[in-house]
Structure 1
Amino acid sequence: MFDFLKKKTETWMLGAPVKGRAVPLQEVNDPTFSDGLLGKGVAVIPSEGKVYAPTDGEIAMVFETLHAVSMNADFGAEILIHVGLDTVSMKGEGFKGHVKAGDRVKKGDLLLEMDLDKIKEAGYDTITPMLICNTDAYADVEGLAGKEVAPGDDVLEIKKK
């Protein structure tokens, strides 16, 4: 009856950066991610080798080895997308970049490509965490895991403080 008196919490949804199965960060076999040391988020076990922008924003950094990209969302979130575990050791082999630092991107723009078979053959896990590195700036960051996702499907809800 008095819904108009309830304070509405501003929320943002990030899309899946890759096609695959969304899982909680706790399932990532690396404590840097699973223990939330870099921030809260979600991970996707990819079934396709393309990484897309989860929201509108600006590319902050593309790692030289092309295994990770960071971006600043237009609403302020600092996002890290990390392809696989220990894939930095591949020194860019099997990865192709489509953006550079300073590029403006829209949700769904192609950021990176990766050869999932080459990553697996090299002995690395392809799981792809997406983290909010400035988690403390938000009231809540919650991964929407346990489902198959296509690029752009809602996988991470961020609530304003």
Structure 2
Amino acid sequence: MFHFLKGKSKENVLYAPCKGKVVPLSEVPDPTFSEKILGDGFAVIPSEGKIYAPTDGEIAMVFDTLHAITLTSSSGTEILIHIGLDTVTLKGAPFTAHVAAGDQVKKGDLLMDVDLDKITGAGLNTVTPVLICNTDDYEKISLKKEGEVSLDEAVLSIS
């Protein structure tokens, strides 16, 4: 009855940004991510080279080297999708962006095509961390799913 009294306690959910295997950040072989320096979240080892919006929101930034995208969800969650490790060194070669800063997106919209073979061919890891950059704004961030995922599976809950 008094739903307006609940305020920000509503649970938000992030979905998988790609098909693949979800792993906790602690398993990412880069301390910037595994030690949650940039925020809490999860990572996906992609099985195909397409990155989709994990929730509804607005694209805040597409990095010049196309290796990362930030978006702000419609509920204010600041999300970083970092495609692969050290992929900034590839200067955009394996990436094709389908969005730009300011674009409104819905969960499941295609954000980026990625040539995973170019990443692995350069000796780099394709693991893709998905971080909540404003982690301190939330009481609880928890992994809902590990292992193989499809795009319609909720992976992270934020409250």
How much has 1:122 moved relative to structure 2?
A: 0.4
TM score, norm. by length of structure 2: 0.93
CA distance in 1, matches of 2:146, 2:41: 13
CA distance in 2, matches of 1:40, 1:74: 19
1:19 is aligned to 2:19? yes
- The SS at the match of 2:38 is coil
Equivalent residue for 1:78? 78
* Mapping for residues 19-98 of structure 1, pairs under 5 Å: 19-98=19-98
- The SS at the match of 2:140 is strand
C-alpha contact 2:146 2:155 (8 A) present in aligned 1: no
How much has 1:151 moved relative to structure 2?
A: 1.8
Structure 1 range deviating more: 150-159 or 34-43: 150-159
CA distance in 1, matches of 2:117, 2:61: 25
> Which amino acid in structure 1 is aligned with residue 119 of structure 2?
I
The alignment yields a C-alpha RMSD, in angstroms, of 1.3
How much has 1:144 moved relative to structure 2?
A: 2.8
CA distance in 2, matches of 1:104, 1:69: 13
- The SS at the match of 1:88 is helix
How much has 1:119 moved relative to structure 2?
A: 0.4
Alignment size in residue pairs: 153
> Which amino acid in structure 1 is aligned with residue 140 of structure 2?
D
Segments of structure 1 that go 5 or more residues without pairing to the other structure are 1-6
- The SS at the match of 1:139 is coil
> Which amino acid in structure 2 is aligned with residue 121 of structure 1?
G
Deviations 1:54-84 (A, max 9, x none): 0000000000111100000000100000000
C-alpha contact 1:62 1:70 (8 A) present in aligned 2: yes
How much has 1:145 moved relative to structure 2?
A: 4.2
Equivalent residue for 1:127? 127
- The SS at the match of 2:32 is helix
* Mapping for residues 149-160 of structure 1, pairs under 5 Å: 149-159=149-159
How much has 1:150 moved relative to structure 2?
A: 1.2
TM score, norm. by length of structure 1: 0.92
> Which amino acid in structure 2 is aligned with residue 15 of structure 1?
Y
* Identity percentage of aligned residues: 59
CA distance in 1, matches of 2:153, 2:80: 17
Segments of structure 2 that go 5 or more residues without pairing to the other structure are 1-5
* Mapping for residues 128-147 of structure 1, pairs under 5 Å: 128-147=128-147
